[in-house]
Each structure stands twice: as structure tokens, then as C-alpha cells.
């Protein structure tokens, strides 16, 4: 059985950085100073594709009073550049693993590492074969294609590390009553046997007695009972449920696009996509939490380049 920990998360981030650090988007981070890192953080905060999770990372790191972009920028403006020294030390190799998890998360955000944060990394379990287990770090970014002249990249990501779980915790018995199921914090998981050998990964989600869940079904999230959703997932009868999120439930849907679709408003994207195959994409009404609900790939905003290459050539 392969049990992943926060150490694996850091190792996967390092492997990702090694793969992308020479891309023009990240070269300013090759010899970072605290002042440079603060400036870079400003550029990250102003990105239009920040997810809820990204803003939470920034809120925690910057000690902002809220996850609103204005509050985050205000907190960053007041922040002493010394706050970025642990980030500098990690990127320069002076420290192997930051002791503060918020440092790890801000580095993951700076380099667009997915899946982030740690909870998502450990919670997105995938069925992988034995070859994946040994080669996943080397294949962390399998194919990078230039999407725009301004260094916009459309990346087909192989999930970094093995997006799996640290431990198995399962409520015994198939007919436990609800009060027992929801006592304290219950971990519901399943063991997936890997093809061709004695390797395995576990799938787990931690829900407290107050948690509600949603689950992806066809083209949108729908509400579900956490325990029932996990049971269906364990039996390969559904997708893994996630904690209730109003924004995902009401604002994140798979959509069809055509020549009449409004892709931008006030120069900002209104449609996001994930590449699913050769010249094949799925389109969404918002970036959601930044990750495709079942494929574990990054959701990206459409660009004019993308439209000119994949959409408009099919228009009459």
C-alpha cells in the first residue's frame, strides 16, 4: 500500500518546479529576493483566474481579514518583505521543507501546482497502475503547448504525485445508524488494488457531523448525503463527493459553446475549459475550484488564441 503524506506533497511540488522553472512565466523566480517575491505575489493576486481555494491560500499567508481580492491586496501592501524570506530560502534550496504549511501553499500557488492545497492533493484519489507509481514524478507535466504569444500555456497535466490519501478510516458495518456515522470526524475510504502488483492507494474524505456534500453528476454538482455519496463512490457508482460549496453548486456547470457564445465581457473571460483529448475540450461556466471535477486537470480561461484555433474555424 502506498501512503502519501505532506512530505510527498512537497516532493511533488519540487518535481513540478523542476519541470516548469525555465518557462518564461516563472524565470523571475529563479533568483528570488524577498522584494521580488512580494512583487510577484502582487501579480498573482491580480490574476482573473484565482479560485476560491487560491484566495484562501493568499488570505492565510498574508493574514488578510477576508478572501476578497481588495482585502488581500491591502494586506499585501502592508506586509513586510521579510515574510517572503522562508519562500526565498525554499526556492534557493536553503531549506528542504518549510515548517509552516502556508509557505508550502503559497509556493504551490506561485508555480500553479495542481492539485493544491494539501487537502485536495490528498483527497483526489485516482486509480493508477504500477507504471504510474514509479514514473508519475517524471511525467508530472506530460505535454506543454503554447496557447498564446504572451506565454499563455495550455497544459495537459498528469496528476502530480499520486493524488491519493494518507490513511484509511472506515465506519464498520453497512447498517450503522446515523448518529454513529456522524460521531466526531469520520473518514470514509476504500482500498483500490493496482493492476499487476501489490500496490494500492486509498480514497478518503473526512466529514464532520455538520458537513453537507455535493457530487458531480453529468454536467453539474448536485446536493447529496456525504455517507451515501462516499458509499456510491467506493462501489464505483459515482464520483467522490466534496463538502457543500454554494458557488460550485450554483455557478459551476459544463456548458456547450458555439459561434454565438459570449466568451468575454469587459475583456474578462466568461467561459473556462479543460482539454480532454486531441482537439477536444469541455467548457464550463466558471473556474469552479480550479480543477475539473473528475479528470483532475486545471480549468483554464479561454483566450482569443483558443477561440481562433478551436471554435471559430467551425463557424459559417
DSSP assigned state of 311: I
Distance CA 142, CA 302 (A): 21
pLDDT reported for residue 206: 55
Least Cα distance to 156 among 295, 257, 306, 17 occurs for 295
pLDDT at residue 210 in the model: 62
Select the more confidently predicted residue: 24 or 72.
72
**Are 74 and 121 contacting, i.e. CB atoms less than 8 angstroms apart?**
no
Instruction: Render pLDDT for 115-151 as a digit per residue (tens, 0 to 9).
Output: 888 888 877 644 333 334 344 334 433 433 434 443 3
- Domains of the chain, by residue range, sit at 6-129, 212-246, 254-314
Task: Tell me which H or E stretch contains 40.
Answer: helix 34-45
Of 250, 237, 242, the closest CA to residue 224 belongs to: 242
- What is the mean predicted confidence (pLDDT) over 174-196? 39
The answer to whether residue 36 scores a pLDDT higher than 70 is: yes
pLDDT band at 3 (very low <50, low <70, confident <90, very high): low
pLDDT score recorded for residue 152: 44
Lowest mean pLDDT among 4-13, 50-59, 103-112, 130-139: 130-139
3-class secondary-structure state, position 23: coil
Q: Whole-number mean pLDDT of the chain?
A: 76
Q: Which residue has the higher pLDDT, 200 or 114?
A: 114
For residue 106, give the C-alpha cell.
503559497
CB 62 within 8 A of CB 75: yes
What share of the chain has pLDDT > 70, as a percent? 71
Q: Is the pLDDT of residue 285 over 90?
A: yes
pLDDT at 183 > cutoff 70: no
Which pLDDT band, with edges at 50, 70 and 90, does 179 fall under? very low
pLDDT for the residue numbered 164: 37
Check pLDDT > 90 for residue 262.
yes
Q: What is the predicted pLDDT for the residue at 151?
A: 36
> What pTM did the predictor assign?
0.43
Give pLDDT tens digits for 75-104.
999 999 999 999 999 998 888 888 889 999
Q: What pLDDT, in 10s, does the model give residues 186-224? A: 343 333 333 333 333 334 455 665 678 999 999 999 999
Q: Taking residues 28-50, report their average pLDDT.
A: 90
Q: Which residue has the cell 455557478?
A: 251
Amino acid at each position: 500500500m502506498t501512503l502519501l503524506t505532506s512530505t510527498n506533497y512537497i516532493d511533488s511540488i519540487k518535481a513540478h518546479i523542476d519541470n516548469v522553472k525555465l518557462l518564461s512565466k516563472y524565470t523571475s523566480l529563479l533568483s528570488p529576493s524577498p522584494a521580488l517575491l512580494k512583487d510577484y505575489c502582487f501579480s498573482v493576486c491580480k490574476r482573473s483566474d484565482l479560485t476560491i481555494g487560491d484566495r484562501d491560500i493568499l488570505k492565510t499567508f498574508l493574514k488578510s481579514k477576508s478572501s476578497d481580492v481588495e482585502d488581500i491586496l491591502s494586506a499585501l501592501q502592508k506586509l513586510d518583505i521579510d515574510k517572503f524570506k522562508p519562500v526565498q530560502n525554499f526556492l534557493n534550496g536553503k531549506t528542504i521543507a518549510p515548517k509552516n504549511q502556508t509557505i508550502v501553499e503559497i509556493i504551490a500557488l506561485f508555480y500553479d501546482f495542481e492539485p493544491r492545497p494539501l487537502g485536495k492533493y490528498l483527497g483526489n484519489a485516482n486509480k493508477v497502475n504500477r507504471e504510474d507509481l514509479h514514473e508519475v514524478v517524471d511525467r508530472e507535466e506530460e505535454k506543454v503547448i503554447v496557447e498564446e504569444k504572451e506565454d499563455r500555456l495550455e497544459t495537459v497535466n498528469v496528476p502530480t504525485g499520486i493524488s491519493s490519501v494518507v490513511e484509511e478510516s472506515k465506519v464498520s458495518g453497512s447498517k450503522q445508524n446515523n448518529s454513529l456515522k456522524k460521531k466526531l470526524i469520520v473518514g470514509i475510504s476504500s482500498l483500490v488494488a493496482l493492476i499487476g502488483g501489490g500496490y494500492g492507494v486509498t480514497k478518503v474524505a473526512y466529514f464532520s457531523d455538520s458537513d453537507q456534500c455535493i457530487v458531480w453528476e453529468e454536467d453539474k454538482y448536485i446536493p447529496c448525503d456525504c455517507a451515501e455519496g462516499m458509499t456510491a463512490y467506493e462501489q464505483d457508482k459515482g464520483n467522490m463527493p466534496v463538502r457543500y460549496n454554494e458557488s460550485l453548486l450554483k455557478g459551476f456547470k459544463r456548458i456547450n459553446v458555439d459561434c454565438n457564445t459570449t466568451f468575454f465581457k469587459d475583456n474578462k473571460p466568461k467561459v473556462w475549459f479543460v482539454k480532454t483529448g486531441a482537439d477536444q475540450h469541455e467548457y464550463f461556466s466558471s473556474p469552479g475550484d480550479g480543477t475539473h471535477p473528475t479528470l483532475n486537470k486545471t480549468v483554464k480561461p479561454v483566450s482569443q488564441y483558443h477561440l481562433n484555433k478551436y471554435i471559430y474555424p467551425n463557424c459559417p
